[in-house]
Amino acid sequence: MRKSTLLILLIILIPTLYFVYGMIAWNVSTSFTEWKGAKPSGNFVGLANYVELFQDPMFWRSFWNTLFLFLMIPCSLGLGLLLAMLLNQKVKGARVFLIIYLIPFAFSFVVTGVVWAWMYSAVQAVPMYTQPGTVMLSILIATVWQFTGYCTLLLYIGMKSVPQKVIDVAKSKGASTFRAYRKVVFPRLKVSILTSVVVLMIFSLKTFDLIWVMTSGGLSGAAYTLPIYVYAEAFGKFHVAKAAAAGNILVAMVLCIVIPVLYWSFRRR
C-alpha cells in the first residue's frame, strides 16, 4: 500500500515540478533576449532588460506599491488577534461568529473588488479607489477585510490549544485578561502567526484581480503592483522580455519568503 501511494505521489509530483521549474527556466532565459512584439526573439542581450527595468519609474512605483500592501499583515493580524481573544472569552455562539468572520475569505478577489467598489461609490461622492492619492489605501482596506477572518481562525485555534485553567490561574494571581494572554497564550501562537504572515505575504505579492477590477488597470500607474506591471508590459506594450525580467524579480521575492520559512520549519523539527 505504501509503495503504491508513493508511486502515485511521484507520478503527480514529477510532471508538476517539471512544469513549474521548466516555466521558471523559460522565463529566466526569455529575460535575456530582446523579445518585443508578438514574434519571439532569441537574440541574447544580456542584462539589458534588467537595466531598462531598473531605470523605469513605473517599475519602482509598482515595487513600492507591492510593498505597501504588506501593511495588510500587521493590520489583519492585529484585528484577528483581537477577535480571537474576544471569541475565546466563552462567548455564546462563538462558532457562528467565526463562520461570519470567515465569509470574506471565501470570496474571490474579483468579488471583493466589485463589492468594495460598490461600497465606496455608495458612501463617497468621489470614491477613494478613483483617486491616485488614496487608491492604494482603498485596496489595503479591502484586503484587510478579506484576510482578517483567516487570521482570526488560525489564532483562535492556537488559543484553544491552551487549557483555560492555565489562563484562569494567571488571572487568579492578579493578572488582567490581556496580561494573562500576553504571558501565557501569545508565546504559544508562534506557528499560527508565522503561517498567517507567510500566507498574507504571498497574497500581497500576487494580488492582481482585485486591483484590476477596482481600478480598471491601475489609474495610469497609480495602483500598479508588480503583477499588474508584468501584465501591462507583456500584453499591453508587448515588451515580453522586460516583463519576464520583472516576473523573475517577483519570483525572487516569493522565494525570499518561502525558503527561510521552510528552513526554520525543518530546523525546528
What's the rounded Cα separation, in Å, for the pair 234 and 227?
Answer: 11
- Computed on alpha carbons and rounded to an integer, the radius of gyration of the chain in Å comes to 23
The verdict on 69 and 150 lying in the same domain is: yes
Say if residue 227 is in the same domain as residue 263: yes
Say how far apart CA 9 and CA 32 lie, in whole Å: 35
Domain of 36 in residue numbering reads as 2-57
Q: Does 109 lie in the same domain as 143? A: yes
Give the type of residue at 67: L
pLDDT at 1 (0 to 100):
47
* Burial of 144 (C-beta count, 10 Å sphere; 0-12/13-18/19+): buried
From first to last of its 269 residues, the chain has per-residue pLDDT tens of 466 676 766 677 777 766 667 778 888 888 888 888 777 777 888 888 999 999 999 999 999 999 999 999 999 999 999 998 888 887 788 888 888 888 999 888 899 999 999 999 888 888 888 888 889 999 999 999 999 999 999 999 888 887 777 777 777 777 677 777 777 888 888 888 888 888 898 888 888 889 988 887 666 788 899 999 999 998 888 888 999 999 999 888 888 887 787 777 667 65
Same structural domain, 102 and 150: yes
Query: Do residues 193 and 155 make contact, with C-beta atoms less than 8 angstroms apart?
Result: yes
CATH of residue 182: 1.10.3720.10
One domain for residues 103 and 187: yes
- Do 27 and 104 sit in the same domain of this protein? no
Query: Which pLDDT belongs to residue 60?
Result: 94
* Residue 27 sits in the same domain as residue 65: no
Number of domains present in the structure of the chain: 2
Of 39, 57, 75, the last residue of a domain is: 57
Pair 23, 69 in one domain:
no
Residues 37 and 141 in one domain: no
Q: For the stretch 111-143, what's the b/e string if a residue is b when 16 or more beta carbons lie within 10 angstroms of its beta carbon?
A: ebbebbbebbeeeeeebbbbeeebbbebbbbbb
Q: What is the pLDDT of residue 218?
A: 65
Of the three residues 15, 36, 57, the one that is the final residue of a domain is 57
Instruction: Looking at the structure, tell me whether residues 47 and 135 fall in a common domain.
Output: no
The rounded distance, in Å, linking the Cα atoms of 155 and 84 is 6
Dihedral, 255, 258, 264, 269 alpha carbons, nearest 10: -130
